[in-house]
Structure 1
Amino acid sequence: MSEVTLEFGWDAQMSNLSMDVREKLDRLQLPLDADKPIVLRYDPALDPILKLSLTGEMNLSQLRLLADKDIKEKIERIEGVASARVQGGQQEEIHIDINQGKLAVMGISPESLSTLLSDSNINRPGGSLKNTQSQYLVRTLNEYQNLQEMRNLRITQMNQPPVTLGEVAKVSWGEKDREEIVRFNGKEGIMLAIYKEGDANTVEVAQLVKENIQRMQQDPDANFKLTVEFDQSRFIQQSIDEVKSALMMGGFLAILVLWLFLRNIRLTLIVAIAIPISVIATFIFMYRLDISLNIMSLGGLTLGVGMLLDSAIVVLESIHRHREDGQETALAAMDGTGEVGGAVLASVLTTIAVFIPIVFVEGIAGQLFKDQALTITFSLIASLIVAFTLTPMLAGLGKSTASSNPKGKLFANFVDKYKWLLHKALAHPIWLLSSSIVIFVLCLNLGKTLDNQLIPELKEGEFYFDVTLADGASLPATTELLTQMESIALNDPDVARVYLSIGSRNVSGGLSLKNKDENLGQINVVIKDRANRIMEERVINNLRQSYQQFAAADVQFGRPGFFSLKTPVELLFFSENLPLLRQYTLSLLPKLQQIKELIDIRASLESGNPEVKIEFNRNLLAQLDLNIEEVANVLNQRVNGVVVSRFQQP
């Protein structure tokens, strides 16, 4: 299997391009044994927003049936839920183990027996019957009601002695071959991955699902337990709540600092009233431009709270100074506002000019910071309008009264020392300019030493390890190894819970086809104190060191991703000679592992699964009156079996 990644410009129309790519691939001439290419488009909606664990006193088969037939259907009826995928457990099926020797004596082939079983279990429409007064739909019903009916099925022709299926085959309940296993804190269970619709709100859908889960478990007849193991909305809601809290705290501190300098409740309230009015006006602009309350827009409001007061403070200080000079209240409001109006307008416009260009930036940076830039711009415009209208009006109310200097001795001493320092600096302009240039150059050099990245790594007290065994490793072998790794994680005192999937792993955005195979697994770890980064790093380092003892597995650390699909550093190598490419890349791994700053190094080039090759002797097959296709089909049926029909339990 191979994957080809296509990257387009940010202004590309992805819907049209997807159709173009599919059209080009349809024209491609591939080898006969190659499957048709599948086009996958990255979509964050392809990641589950919730992962639920289903446990109970029932066995795994009953739990799986409960998840498939009851819980899954109830969850998918919730508004905003696109689908619910059930993983793990055991699925029941009916096994028919035929005695090929007996069938061969009677001249019955396995293919004809499969056709007979399928044709004898039908539930299909048969048209309609009409008369002058009514119309009746016709349905042909002949489904198996139990296993005994299947055993009593006659498989010989009418001119032959009657032989039933039970005489040449063993019909019994069995379990479907397991493809994936899910474990929660050392016990096997069922996992339900919940996916939302593309335009649905993650937080709202997750809340509706959790409310429905709570109602299901309140049922007196419920003998199962549903637990939320992973909640994508938790990170979003927590981030928004923290930004809201910072916004409220920032506004309160800004008002407090203002009062400490003004020492006048009335003047402080006049300036402080600019905050809620400007925020409300900003919400109106956001609503008109369809900007949601997200982390970036709320972050813009948080940054803008302090700047919201600047214009009002300058205008109010000018009005206050005119009143101290003896002017009437109304006249002081007009003259004070007119005196500083030009300076305030220029100050706000220059700040807006800094943020407006971000709106036109393309790529991820533009998409991330566009809402923030627009929110700051709207809040500054609103604060400017408030400073020129509401603030002078409120300041002009009331009678003119003498007011004392609110600055105090501390502020006066600071002003005197600042004047002295300013006069000294301006007296030596050459030294002042030279030192400024030197400091500027030093700051530029210091900036080069800082790390460059789009956003800092998100740490939420939850992480995972992707585990890959050698190609061809069986599911039991993968289960045995991951169970040992699970025990190590559970023995760590700082770990709250561990859940793992064996035979599959989650790939962000559904961007990879290599997410389900018997040699794959994923261990998800949640620590007790999710806000303690020191604890998280300690657990990660301990598990990394412990997992190094499993030389047969490739273990890669990762965190739930929200903005990026790639690893921090990727080296791409190209060659038409795959064996040489594999040899060269694998030779680089030991050298890269010697670099202390690098960790979790792996090569993406993978070999195919081991296989058993069978080559037929055409001449011998011809002598036996057989052809290759018939023998290959019989071999496939004997190895994999064949699903001939579906049994509906009454």
Structure 2
Amino acid sequence: MNLTRSSVKNPAAVLVIVALVFIFGVIAMMKLPIQLTPDIEQPQITISTGWRAAAPEEVESVIIEPQENVVKNTRGVVDVTTSIQRGFGNITLTFDVGTNMQQAMLDVINNLNQAPPLPLDVFEPVVATGGGRGGPNAASLLVRPVPGNDLTEMANHQALIEDVIEPRLARISGVGQVNLNSQRPRELRISFEPHKLAALGIPIGQVANTVARASDVSGGFADVGRRQYTVRFAGQYDLESLSNMIISYSGDRPVFLKDVATVENTLVDRFGFTLRNGAPAYYITITRGNEANTVALLDDINLAINELNEGPLAEVGLMIDLSFDSSVHIRNALLLVKSNLGLGVFLALGILWLFLRGWKATLIIATTIPLSVMVAFLVLSMLERSLNVISLAGVAFAVGLVLDAAIIVQENIVRLRSEGMDNKKAVVKGATQVAGALFASTATSVAIFLPILFMKGIEGQLFSDLALTLSVAVIASLVSAVTILPIASRYLLSDLPKQDPHEDYWQKLTDFIMKLTATAKQRTAWIAGLIIGSVLITTTLMPRTDFMPRAPIDGFFFSLNLPPGGNIEFLDEEMANRFRDRIAPYTTGEKQPKVKSYNFYSYGPNATGGFIYADDPTRVEELMQVVQSEVLADLPDTQVFLFRGSMINVTGGGNGRSVNIDLQGPDIDPLMAAAQIGIQKIQEHLPGTSAQPVPALSMAEPELRLLPNDRRITQAGLNRSDVANAVRAFTDGLFVAEYFDGNDRMNVILRGTPWNNPDELAALPIYTPRSGIQTLGELATVTRTVGPSQLRRVDGKRTISLIVRPPEIMSLEEAMAQLEEQVIPAIKAELPSDANLLVNGNANRMQQAIWDMLQNFILALIILFLLMTALFKSGKDSLLVLTVMPMALAGGVIGLWVLNLFTFQSLDLLTMIGFIILLGLVVNNAILLVDQTRCSEREGLSRQAAVRQAVRIRARPVYMSTLTSLFGMLPLMILPGVGSEIYRGLATVIVGGMAISALFTLILLPSLLRIGEQKTQAQFSTQSSFAAQESAQ
């Protein structure tokens, strides 16, 4: 190979290149952004629209339905999911992976502009990408009182948070967005006395119109002499003079606004609260910007927190707690992978030394590891990837693999020198002689990874880093083996290496294998037994499939579906206080397991829950049972749902282990009844499974519905709109206008004094043009009824969704089988004819991913076959090599079966990738055996002698490379720790497959190669006799 000869002739140039690779590799490694996993996102655009004081059905009919109609056909949209609550609607558009999101954003905005005009008091829709948060959540912060501070209302310090904390956090490099989740906007509230207003003969609409018309108006420009003036009518009142606005006249006396109302700049009413370890808190989240280094970002956030805690917050008795720190899991997970990487290198080199019994030879081969790793880091940096658990695991997996080529080259060089060849010639011929086979084996490995690199969807985002690092490292190891290793062997191994201390073992192994495959009957039995047995083992022991790997963290979420109608005061005093009292002994350590910290939030009966961190990460499941049975037990009419936090989160799919059963239809009541049946069946047939309905099935919120009396309204000289505005003014307030003071913009709200019961509401007076003072009850009938507190729509239809989360020891496939057999038929039986049932979410994603994986598996086989056909110039030999694959697959399945004896491991997507990677690895040994056999035959040996020689020559490097690979990956398989669940299944498949393949390939391949041996032997004997006669003549 010219590359080897050129390298041996120019060692200085090679060393310079190696030095440059190391220098730039180290620089690239230091600059790589650090994350836990690659970004796993389904492209989304959200449209959020607020309408204060509007009921969910009103939001649906006036805002959401028209918006859905104009955006649902946007190019690339795969589904439309809408959530509607009081005063708010949110549409989520999910797009195909790979969609140009900049163009999609423009398309959505253009389509949204075609929607009908919105009411004046509706906030402008906010269109955002990435689920409405702008990026992955990097940190959650809670501003709370310091111990000893009895502050009960954090909103009193909102100005400090907005003016000091938010700007300081936003300045940090890498921050995408700072979200003030507990923010309460300010409003200019005009609180009027309905009785005074009516007694003075002033309609509510007159007050609203007078305030609304008090605005600045530009009159244009006027030329006066040599100057041009801007003409403005300063009609807007400032806050101090607004109370002196004249709203009407009583006789000749003006009626000022202050005569019937008070004006104040205040916060909107409290709509929710957050607790941090029992104390009131202000909730802030920080999203990570694109390509930000999460670890460095959190270091800067911690510095900012310390600065704020010691400065402006300390002055007012406040402090910031970092509730969620994504860098903690990243540091722990990466530390574990790095430890596994280091231990794998140590074990691989130890195995290598046991075979070589020489430190020089061992270290020469070992130089392939750091060089290949540096090249991998360099390519990751050039392609703008991140350093994460997946990419670093790929480096760890590569530790054993990158030694293969160097081992083969070194073995061949040593063999040639032991036969008496000159050192310089031996290093060149030793590398060039095996270069073709090494190129083929490397090409097959890389060819296996190529389909993974180009996979779309979530699986492509998750696994491309793994395939990339393995591919680059293996290619770099090949180049290193045919360039650097010959140079090192020439100058550092001047003396002939020691004779192989295991030579007798390899000879005995060769004799044993030839004895096992001596007769045609024996060979047929081995071929049939190994292939059929492998197929039977694979089909019998193959575990059930899953979507995402399990990657639990040291905490869990809890969600409460409370009885409808509870206001914030009730939720604070009853639910929050009860939770705080019950969990207190666990936070102090009086009871076990101890709680490290917790958050509790409530923004209404359908949005109450929290997160609990365990002090001991190994007792999270135990703590979950305690919280379920003691802390959250006996809550009246309350459904409790608990689920473990995960390091891997899928946009719109949580931790990737949930199933959505969507019930759709025009009438919500029969959907709720069918959903209730579904929950009962799930609890009956899938014990330990959580089934959370969204929205809650107890969604009938108490409602005071006012039915207009059109006759009385018309006689009074009003219309329905006038009465509706009065109703709004008597309750949450009537939007009048916007006020801008030069810094902030706020709503102007006209609001009556509070009332305590429906009778007081009906007795409130309204002045009418024709009938004088009328009560609200005379113009409309007040009735008590119920209405939805929350609505959900999927693809334009009202929907009740059951979010099913199977227990940790149940795969998604097993859960789906139970649901399809036991649960879904029972639900369908309860649905009316105009309703339908759909299974969505991770179930669909898993089926699509499995189909994609199957296609890639077939594509990988085709690529392998074509490459080997080109190498051997024989389709028959290519098929011989491929026959080792059933054994490898069986070995991977056996490895998973053994692992499941100790801990649960399903066949998730990352584990499936292990089988594809396995294909490219196990064929390498087969390629070497077939190639050596054909070379020996071309040199004149018989088929039997050629097979014997191939086994004797290749047995040592085969076992050496296999054992170094196995021990290099073994720590990834057996060592527990944070994040190990992500790649444990993958490592198990590769280790099990390579181990079984190594044990039986040296039996299966000789048996296959000796098929038709008698025929070839006869041809060989005839040719030998003819050659002998020719020589005699």
TM over 0.5: yes
The answer to whether the Cα contact below 8 Å between 1:489 and 1:498 also exists between their aligned partners in 2 is no
Counterparts of 1:399 and 1:87, CA distance in 2: 67
What amino acid is the match of 2:455?
A: V
Alignment CA distance shift 1:289-1:464 (3 Å): same
Moved more, 394-403 or 19-28: 19-28
Partner in structure 1 of residue 285 of structure 2 = 193
**What secondary structure, in the 3-state scheme, does the structure 1 residue paired with 2:731 have?**
helix
C-alpha displacement of 1:592 = 1.9
Counterparts of 2:308 and 2:225, CA distance in 1: 48
Q: Within 5 A, what are the aligned runs for 1:23-422?
A: 42-43=130-131, 45=134, 48-56=137-145, 57=149, 60-88=154-182, 96-114=190-208, 144=238, 160-161=252-253, 164-170=256-262, 176-197=268-289, 200-219=292-311, 222-223=314-315, 224-397=318-491, 400-405=494-499, 407-408=500-501, 411=502, 414-415=505-506, 418-419=509-510, 421-422=512-513
Counterparts of 2:413 and 2:454, CA distance in 1: 39
The answer to whether the Cα contact below 8 Å between 1:467 and 1:521 also exists between their aligned partners in 2 is yes
Alignment CA distance shift 1:204-1:419 (3 Å): same
C-alpha displacement of 1:631 = 1.8
**What secondary structure, in the 3-state scheme, does the structure 2 residue paired with 1:194 have?**
strand
Among 468, 473, 498, which residue is 2:566 paired with? Answer: 473
Counterparts of 1:439 and 1:486, CA distance in 2: 59
Alignment coverage as a number of residue pairs: 627
Among 649, 661, 685, which residue is 1:562 paired with? Answer: 649
C-alpha displacement of 1:117 = 5.5
Counterparts of 1:399 and 1:502, CA distance in 2: 72
Partner in structure 1 of residue 635 of structure 2 = 550
The answer to whether the Cα contact below 8 Å between 1:99 and 1:168 also exists between their aligned partners in 2 is yes
C-alpha displacement of 1:636 = 0.8
1:410-446 Cα distance to aligned partner (Å, 9 max, x none):
x457546634542442133233234313421332123
Partner in structure 1 of residue 615 of structure 2 = 528
The answer to whether the Cα contact below 8 Å between 2:369 and 2:402 also exists between their aligned partners in 1 is yes
Alignment CA distance shift 1:209-1:131 (3 Å): farther
What amino acid is the match of 2:407?
A: I
Counterparts of 1:121 and 1:571, CA distance in 2: 52
Q: Is 1:425 the equivalent of 2:525?
A: no
Moved more, 176-185 or 81-90: 81-90
Partner in structure 2 of residue 441 of structure 1 = 535
C-alpha displacement of 1:159 = 7.9
What amino acid is the match of 2:287?
A: Y
Alignment CA distance shift 1:538-1:642 (3 Å): same
Give the CA RMSD over aligned residues: 4.0
Partner in structure 1 of residue 601 of structure 2 = 501
1:108-127 Cα distance to aligned partner (Å, 9 max, x none):
34444455566779899998
**What secondary structure, in the 3-state scheme, does the structure 2 residue paired with 1:524 have?**
strand
Alignment CA distance shift 1:421-1:482 (3 Å): farther
C-alpha displacement of 1:308 = 1.0
**What secondary structure, in the 3-state scheme, does the structure 2 residue paired with 1:453 have?**
coil
Q: TM-score, normalised by structure 2?
A: 0.54
What amino acid is the match of 2:684?
A: Q
C-alpha displacement of 1:394 = 0.9
Partner in structure 1 of residue 681 of structure 2 = 591
Structure with greater strand share of residues: 2
Q: Is 1:452 the equivalent of 2:552?
A: no
Alignment CA distance shift 1:577-1:29 (3 Å): farther
C-alpha displacement of 1:374 = 2.0
Counterparts of 1:462 and 1:481, CA distance in 2: 21
Gaps of 5+ in 2: 1-55, 65-79, 82-92, 587-591, 744-1033
C-alpha displacement of 1:258 = 1.9
Counterparts of 2:115 and 2:733, CA distance in 1: 33
Alignment CA distance shift 1:130-1:229 (3 Å): farther
Q: TM-score, normalised by structure 1?
A: 0.83
1:77-131 Cα distance to aligned partner (Å, 9 max, x none):
3344343232448777776543333333333344444555667798999989999
Partner in structure 2 of residue 604 of structure 1 = 694
The answer to whether the Cα contact below 8 Å between 1:54 and 1:191 also exists between their aligned partners in 2 is yes
Counterparts of 2:428 and 2:334, CA distance in 1: 41
Alignment CA distance shift 1:84-1:634 (3 Å): same
What amino acid is the match of 2:565?
A: G
Gaps of 5+ in 1: 504-516
Counterparts of 2:742 and 2:98, CA distance in 1: 53
The answer to whether the Cα contact below 8 Å between 2:222 and 2:228 also exists between their aligned partners in 1 is no
**What secondary structure, in the 3-state scheme, does the structure 1 residue paired with 2:691 have?**
coil
Alignment CA distance shift 1:48-1:179 (3 Å): farther
C-alpha displacement of 1:551 = 4.7
The answer to whether the Cα contact below 8 Å between 1:49 and 1:202 also exists between their aligned partners in 2 is yes
Counterparts of 1:317 and 1:460, CA distance in 2: 46
The answer to whether the Cα contact below 8 Å between 1:589 and 1:601 also exists between their aligned partners in 2 is yes
C-alpha displacement of 1:346 = 2.5
**What secondary structure, in the 3-state scheme, does the structure 1 residue paired with 2:180 have?**
strand
**What secondary structure, in the 3-state scheme, does the structure 2 residue paired with 1:350 have?**
helix
Among 479, 484, 488, which residue is 2:578 paired with? Answer: 484
**What secondary structure, in the 3-state scheme, does the structure 2 residue paired with 1:389 have?**
helix
Structure with more relative contact order (C-alpha pairs < 8 Å, separation 6 or more): 2
Counterparts of 2:215 and 2:98, CA distance in 1: 54
**What secondary structure, in the 3-state scheme, does the structure 1 residue paired with 2:639 have?**
strand
**What secondary structure, in the 3-state scheme, does the structure 2 residue paired with 1:603 have?**
strand
Alignment CA distance shift 1:291-1:163 (3 Å): closer
Counterparts of 1:572 and 1:463, CA distance in 2: 25
**What secondary structure, in the 3-state scheme, does the structure 2 residue paired with 1:336 have?**
helix
Alignment CA distance shift 1:586-1:460 (3 Å): same
Q: Within 5 A, what are the aligned runs for 1:630-645?
A: 630-642=722-734
**What secondary structure, in the 3-state scheme, does the structure 2 residue paired with 1:612 have?**
strand
Alignment CA distance shift 1:388-1:590 (3 Å): same
Alignment CA distance shift 1:112-1:73 (3 Å): farther
**What secondary structure, in the 3-state scheme, does the structure 2 residue paired with 1:101 have?**
helix
C-alpha displacement of 1:643 = 5.8
C-alpha displacement of 1:538 = 0.8
Counterparts of 1:181 and 1:435, CA distance in 2: 67
Q: Is 1:579 the equivalent of 2:673?
A: no
Counterparts of 1:115 and 1:620, CA distance in 2: 24
1:347-399 Cα distance to aligned partner (Å, 9 max, x none):
22222222222223332222221221122111111111110011011111157
C-alpha displacement of 1:60 = 2.6
